[in-house]
Structure 1
Amino acid sequence: MPTYDTMPLLDLGLENPFKSIISAKPYYFTEYGSAYLGEALDIMSEIPDSTLNLIVTSPPYALVFKKEYGNVDAQDYVKWFMGFAQEFHRVLKDDGSLVINIGGSWNKGVPTRSTYHFELIIELAKVFHLAQEFYWYNPAKLPSPAEWVTVRRIRVKDSVELVLWFSKSPYPKADNRSVLQPYSKDMQRIIEKGYVAKKRPSGHNITSKFRRDNNGAIPPNVLQVGNTDSSSPYLKKCKECGMKPHPARFPKDLPQFFVDFLTEPGDIVMDPFCGSNVTGFVAENSKRKWIAIDTVEEYLMGSEFRFPRVYK
């Protein structure tokens, strides 16, 4: 089980980081953040305007088959999610961002896709600015739905999910130098040996500056992240304590990218559908303050395993 301190919290110099703005009692808190059991709209209603730097979340998808964590039908999904949109907009700072990981869905009984996530983009773009769309490529994703992919074989497997970056203003806080990637071998060779300035067939004029070493390459908007954490400490501790882990966790590298890209230490990150609180875990390790909310106590209880010390 997580380690709980039995000493008075005041003696430890620690208290709920959001005690001054959220009256609801946290389910637990850590040095940098607080997790709340309850409805996201209720908890957010206490947060003052223009408080958060980033909201990053993976809400329940509009899937054909119901999941134990709850998910809304595709035809109702946009209306359901837009109930949160105005509140997200209110609590974000003017240069803040909203990042949503949302998977696609199939229409029941036929091998055709729902357009619900595209409809959601259009509606959210009426409240926010669509800063950029990302694609999460998961090479380990299983073929689904099985009837169309592995039985009738008339579709290929889905390996990509949308990650949508919305911003409150056209110029949100962001710095791609915080998420630079190692150069490819070809680029390393160009930097070492030089590059002949020339115009490409596309019309782009590539100058000698192309060989400049900028300490890494600017990443693309396709994020290749596997979701195979079968040996993570979180899962091990859930097993040891006989607790069922959250069935739809997203990999920590996904929120990590956007926490690094769109915030800096001391900023506030929120996940209103936190599940096993991967976002809070990433924020804690990155020295960002965080707020996590979920309606299922079992998920929050298990999420405590992600932290070396939690306080009640």
Structure 2
Amino acid sequence: MRDLLDHLRSGRVCYSTRRGAMISGDSLELLAQLPADSVDLFITSPPFPLLRQKAYGNEDQQRYVAWLTEFAKLAKDALKSTGSLVIDIGGAYQRGLPVRSLHQFRALLAFVDELGYRLAEEFYWYNPSKLPSPIEWVNKRKIRAKDAVNTVWWLSKTDEPKADVGKVRIPYSESMKRLLADPARYYTPKDRPSQHSIGEAFGRDNGGALPSNLLAIPNSQSNDMYLRTCKKLGFPSHPARFPLKLPLFFIEMCTDPGDLVVDFFAGSNTTGRAAEDLDRRWLSFELDRSYAAESAVRFIYDQGPENILKSIRQMTKGKALVVNGPF
């Protein structure tokens, strides 16, 4: 990890842990300085091209695809041949019209056609707690349904990136639990009308079911550790966070302990926290030094309000914090 940090000359370490570091700087410059074939997984959620300008700096719809493609190109250069790029891109409407923008699909085509990525699989993150938006079309005129799904593109450098879906099994349904408890009563091997053959192995307990590419993950943590600490300290939380379970899923599926995970739109550093919890090395890049410093809350929440505030002030002014000892 120290060797990697030595490559990132244009950024400044905001804080570091035993497994990773938050770097404050321009992600385009930082990505360009990563060694070739060094990263196992990029996972990120870029600012979406929303019609209303947000505090975290979302891009205009007209140049969004070209802007995002610059980052994807540099990420591809740094990826290992077995590595993956997972990118969460939300939808948006065209200005003044109840018609959807195609930016996330145009971005995918640019990544594949121009940069040579493979689309390993498309995922859809369903957020059942997402608020109705845009208000004009959903709440007021009621001519569109609530937008509750983000596209998540799983892209790779080669046809067979590292992956093991068996590591991200989900709990069995109640009916499956009953079948496993008494297979003879609930299940008889046979061919389905679709001509798929369902054999004896279907009744075997594998510790959980294989997941689908629809990830139902609420983003309604109104009182989690990060938000509680931000509220206690009196500063605003990052306005565009994705839930911890989303990076956990892809980090678990696409990497092994010790692999390197990088997020180049880190925000509140959900990805770094997830990678730390799963014993992966990680690097997070964030342009806004204040957001980068405040994300340390995810790692020092137990140090008491005064100590946390002191550390955040020091990081905002340029000092690097070491969390839980050096690398």
TM-score by length of 1: 0.92
Q: 1:49 aligns with which of 30, 36, 57?
A: 36
Q: Distance in 1 between matches of 2:62 and 2:178?
A: 52
Offset at 1:16?
Answer: 4.9
Q: 1:173 aligns with which of 153, 162, 165?
A: 162
Q: Where is the helix percentage greater, Structure 1 or Structure 2?
A: 2
- Whether contact under 8 Å (2:4, 2:34) holds in the other structure is no
Aligned residue pairs, count? 298
Q: Please say if 1:290 is aligned against 2:282.
A: yes
- Whether contact under 8 Å (2:41, 2:84) holds in the other structure is yes
Q: Distance in 1 between matches of 2:283 and 2:200?
A: 46
- Whether contact under 8 Å (1:135, 1:223) holds in the other structure is yes
Q: Distance in 2 between matches of 1:300 and 1:146?
A: 31
Offset at 1:19?
Answer: 3.4
1:98 equivalent in structure 2 = 85
Q: Distance in 2 between matches of 1:47 and 1:146?
A: 42
Mapping 1:18-97, distance limit 5 Å: 18-23=4-9, 24-97=11-84
1:188 equivalent in structure 2 = 177
Q: Distance in 1 between matches of 2:157 and 2:139?
A: 42
- Whether contact under 8 Å (2:126, 2:215) holds in the other structure is yes
Q: Distance in 2 between matches of 1:17 and 1:165?
A: 28
1:151 equivalent in structure 2 = 140
1:256 equivalent in structure 2 = 248
- Whether contact under 8 Å (2:31, 2:71) holds in the other structure is no
Q: Deviations over 1:41-81 (max 9, x none)?
A: 11122211000000000000011111111111222111111
Unaligned runs of 5+ in 1: 1-14
Offset at 1:17?
Answer: 7.1
Root mean square deviation of aligned Cα: 1.5
Unaligned runs of 5+ in 2: 304-320
1:198 equivalent in structure 2 = 190
Q: 1:161 aligns with which of 150, 163, 167?
A: 150
Offset at 1:207?
Answer: 1.3
Q: Distance in 2 between matches of 1:210 and 1:236?
A: 44
Q: 1:123 aligns with which of 110, 114, 133?
A: 110
Q: Please say if 1:132 is aligned against 2:97.
A: no
- Whether contact under 8 Å (2:123, 2:151) holds in the other structure is yes
User: Identity of paired residues, percent?
Assistant: 43
Offset at 1:193?
Answer: 2.2
Q: Deviations over 1:163-208 (max 9, x none)?
A: 1100111100001111011111211222232221111111111112
- Whether contact under 8 Å (1:58, 1:100) holds in the other structure is yes
